[in-house]
Structure 1
Amino acid sequence: MTPIMSKRDAAAYVDSARIRQGRTWAELADHLGAPLVWTTAALLGQHPMTTEQAARTCELLGLADDVAESLALQPSRGTPAEDMADPTIYRLSEALSVYGPALKALIHEEFGDGIMSAINFQVDFRRRPDPDGDRVVITLDGKFLDYRW
């Protein structure tokens, strides 16, 4: 019996097939009828896909059943330390480092004592044209969870 492929290896197969076929993440999300950021994160190993979603993705990309098997597994979520040094990921982390305390203060002022859920959560991404250079718009949409004593 062979071991199940790691989610990181499955993600590499998905990304390679996507690039070689000239497909976008948006095309894959549309194919599955799922949100863009969620689909991209799932295909990069951060969420489990349903067996059907994994099979449909692998069929579209011409990937083997062992990739689909891995895509359906429960992940160990998070970003490896070496990926945190990537300038795009680092800048997102920096933005939360700078604005996190202000957002925390605003959440507490507006909602009370609690947190924004990252489990009951949606994230959206879009490009907004701007005369001074296009803007990246990221919307974090999490349910407020109050602390209950």
Structure 2
Amino acid sequence: MINRSEAAQAVLAARARRAVTWQELADVMGRPPVWATAALLGSHPLTSAEAKTAGALLDLEPSVVEALQLPPVRDTGRSGSSPVDPTVHRFHEVIGLYGPALRELIHEQFGDGIMSAVDFRLDMRRVTDPAGDRVVIVLDGKFLAYRW
């Protein structure tokens, strides 16, 4: 069996080879695009049905489909250190888990470039929810295309 990292590489190669978008994968899996992209890159396990559906669209080997269902190793300490403050730590955790998926989606939807942190707006609000209030954070940065 292959590991999650190898499965993610197989997904990236198959997606490029077959010209399938992350949105198309999310749609056939019935999941939001950020979650689906993160899962296919190794941050979340897929159900058997989700893995088989993605595998069929990408024409993945059975070993890749099987690996996509394994529990992930959520390595959020990529920067080498983790902040002590619990709230700041959670932001690092979110970016560690979803950063690669967001990068892929930005490149797919905008092209080769980045989200500006200079021409940038940030909003945070509380949303009342019967299951527990929610923190809604919006990161709004201008897209900056790489120019050579």
Distance in 2 separating the partners of 1:7 and 1:56: 17
| Secondary structure at 1:49 match in 2 | coil
Q: 1:24 Cα deviation (Å)?
A: 1.3
| Secondary structure at 1:75 match in 2 | coil
State the partner residue of 2:24: 27
Q: Over aligned residues, Cα RMSD in angstroms?
A: 4.3
Structure 2 matches for 1:40-119, cutoff 5 A?
40-78=37-75, 81=78
Distance in 1 separating the partners of 2:75 and 2:23: 22
Runs in 1 of length 4+ with deviation above 3 angstroms?
123-127, 134-144
State the partner residue of 2:36: 39
Q: 1:78 Cα deviation (Å)?
A: 1.5
Distance in 2 separating the partners of 1:62 and 1:140: 41
Distance in 2 separating the partners of 1:74 and 1:12: 17
State the partner residue of 1:131: none
Q: In 1, are the aligned partners of 2:2 and 2:67 still within 8 Å (CA)?
A: yes
Structure 2 gap segments, 5+ residues each: 107-114, 126-132, 136-148
Stretch moving more, 71-80 or 53-62: 71-80
Q: 1:75 Cα deviation (Å)?
A: 0.8
Distance in 1 separating the partners of 2:64 and 2:123: 30
Q: 1:26 Cα deviation (Å)?
A: 1.1
Rg: which structure is higher? 1
Structure 1 gap segments, 5+ residues each: 85-96, 105-114, 128-133, 145-149
> How many residues align structurally?
108
The percentage of counterpart residues that share the same residue type is 35
